[in-house]
């Protein structure tokens, strides 16, 4: 099948594109390289050096099974988005191409507005292009578990049956997100569900948990195929940060008491979930939602797991939480849809943490410790982005 991966230069889009190509898909990636620009803005860089997209594509052509081509441009440009989809004519569009850091969206008004414009407008342009070109194209959209927040009831897969005053209906699951970034995903979900209803488009919304890990079988083929690994307090996600902090001898930065619980998923499972969703499309007009996570942990549990796995002593520091979030709450997520399609998850108790320690050890000289501690405060309308 033909699969277009939007955001294919990013942390997840790149290894997913290679995974799909290795599985026999005819793949194209699209990106505007804005993720590389955020690094310049924040004065940080990926822990693992990454090659320019063209180098990655050339190397993959040498070592991979199926060449991948690229469309460079911005999804908020409707002509670019339309022309790309018209020319490539994919069976599935996999959409990773959004500003994805919650702290980035909470820096100030400008960053909140940018995040919502970039994400919501880009997705709307994709929806219109699909509706105008071919309504059979399956949109596989990356959402987030953070759309739901931490409700005091079980989290279902996108939909919930509600009985109110004796009447019953199937409704979109109520949302209570925790940042302007997470809100952008809620807005996307509503727009996509509406597009499915009015135009008969088919879409899978993948509400993904926090991703960890860095290597996949395809990126391991050559160092020039490696994907990025972020550690800074804006783009670094919690488990990746804890592994890097342990190796650097930096205290693990638990926000608050660490009781906040989240869903997690290994990067290799992200790529496989996308393949499963793309190869098993929903019916025309269906808005299908999967909760793309495999295990849940509290932040304090994660810190302890990393500290126990590392060979040297590790300090755990409990910082005042810069975010506004519950740190003692109920959390029970239904996530059966993807295993039913065949997902066999890699669990954290497998050997992954040890292999991550090795990757970090190799590149630890690239870390700028000034980017480790959080500066973006949820309660503030204007936060600094660095400590120095």
Residues that bind ligand USQ (CB under 6 A): 100-102, 144-146, 182, 209-210, 237-238, 241, 253-255, 260, 262-263, 299, 323, 325
Closest to ligand NAD by CB, 177 vs 322, is 177
State the Cα–Cα distance between residues 19 and 23, nearest whole angstrom. Answer: 6
**Partner from ligand NAD, ligand USQ, none contacting 74, C-beta within 5 to 8 A by type:** ligand NAD
CB of 359 to ligand NAD, least distance (A): 16
Closest to ligand USQ by CB, 112 vs 254, is 254
What does the block give as tokens for 80?
């670019």
Using CA atoms, how far residue 75 sits from 46, 125, 202, 207, 335, in Å, is 24, 7, 20, 21, 30
Strand order in the sheet with 210-212: 210-212, 261-266, 295-298
State the Cα–Cα distance between residues 269 and 347, nearest whole angstrom. Answer: 10
Q: Where are the beta strands (DSSP E) in 184-326?
A: 202-208, 210-212, 252-255, 261-266, 287-292, 295-298, 316-319
What does the block give as tokens for 245?
């902090």
Closest to ligand USQ by CB, 253 vs 371, is 253
Whether 316 and 254 have beta carbons less than 8 Å apart is answered as yes
Nearest residue to ligand USQ by CB is: 146
CB of 2 to ligand USQ, least distance (A): 27
CB of 132 to ligand NAD, least distance (A): 19
State the Cα–Cα distance between residues 327 and 299, nearest whole angstrom. Answer: 9
Closest to ligand USQ by CB, 6 vs 101, is 101
Catalytic residue among 11, 181, 310, 331: 181
CB of 245 to ligand USQ, least distance (A): 8
**Partner from ligand USQ, ligand NAD, none contacting 260, C-beta within 5 to 8 A by type:** ligand USQ
State the Cα–Cα distance between residues 205 and 167, nearest whole angstrom. Answer: 27
Q: Would you call 150 a catalytic residue per the annotation? A: no
State the Cα–Cα distance between residues 214 and 266, nearest whole angstrom. Answer: 9
Closest to ligand USQ by CB, 153 vs 198, is 153
The CA-based dihedral angle spanning residues 216, 1, 50, 76, taken in that order and rounded to the nearest 10 degrees? -130
In the DSSP assignment, the letter for residue 117 is I
Q: Would you call 185 a catalytic residue per the annotation? A: yes
Q: Would you call 336 a catalytic residue per the annotation? A: no
Catalytic residue among 144, 150, 253, 270: 144
**Partner from ligand USQ, ligand NAD, none contacting 102, C-beta within 5 to 8 A by type:** ligand USQ
Residues that bind ligand NAD (CB under 6 A): 7, 9-13, 31-35, 74-76, 96-100, 118, 122, 142, 144, 208, 210-211, 237
Angle, CA 15 vertex, CA 240 and CA 282 arms, to 5°: 105
Residues annotated catalytic, as ranges:
144, 181, 185
């Amino acid at each position: 099948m033909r699969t277009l991966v939007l955001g294919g230069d990013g942390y997840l889009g790149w290894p997913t594109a290679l995974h799909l190509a290795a599985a026999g898909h005819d793949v194209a990636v699209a990106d505007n390289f804005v993720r590389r620009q955020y690094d310049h803005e924040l004065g940080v860089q990926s822990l693992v050096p990454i090659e320019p997209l063209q180098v990655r594509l050339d190397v993959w052509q040498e070592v991979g099974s199926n060449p991948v081509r690229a469309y460079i441009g911005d999804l908020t440009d409707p002509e670019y988005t339309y022309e790309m989809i018209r020319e490539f004519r994919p069976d599935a569009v996999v959409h990773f191409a959004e500003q994805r850091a919650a702290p980035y969206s909470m820096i100030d008004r400008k960053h909140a507005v940018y995040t919502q414009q970039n994400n919501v407008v880009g997705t709307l342009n994709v929806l219109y292009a699909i509706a105008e070109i071919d309504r059979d194209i399956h949109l596989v959209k990356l959402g987030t578990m953070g759309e739901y927040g931490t409700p005091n009831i079980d989290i279902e897969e996108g939909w919930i049956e509600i009985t109110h005053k004796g009447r019953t209906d199937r409704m979109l699951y109520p949302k209570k997100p925790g940042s302007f970034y997470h809100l952008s995903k809620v807005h996307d979900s509503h727009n996509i569900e509406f597009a499915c209803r009015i135009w008969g488009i088919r879409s899978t919304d993948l509400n993904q948990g926090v991703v960890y890990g860095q290597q996949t079988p395809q990126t391991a083929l050559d160092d020039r195929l490696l994907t990025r690994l972020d550690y800074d307090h804006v783009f670094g996600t919690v488990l990746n940060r804890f592994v890097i902090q342990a190796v650097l001898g930096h205290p693990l930065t638990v926000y608050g008491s660490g009781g906040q619980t989240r869903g997690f998923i290994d990067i290799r499972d992200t790529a496989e979930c996308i393949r499963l969703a793309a190869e098993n499309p929903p019916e025309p007009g269906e808005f299908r939602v999967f909760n793309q996570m495999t295990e849940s942990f509290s932040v304090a549990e994660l810190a302890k797991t990393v500290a126990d796995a590392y060979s040297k002593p590790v300090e755990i520091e409990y910082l005042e939480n810069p975010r506004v979030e519950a740190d003692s709450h109920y959390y029970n997520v239904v996530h059966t849809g993807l295993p039913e399609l065949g997902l066999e998850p890699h669990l954290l108790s497998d050997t992954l943490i040890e292999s991550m320690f090795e990757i970090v050890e190799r590149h630890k000289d690239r870390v700028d410790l000034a980017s480790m501690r959080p500066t973006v405060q949820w309660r503030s309308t204007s936060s600094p982005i660095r400590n120095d």
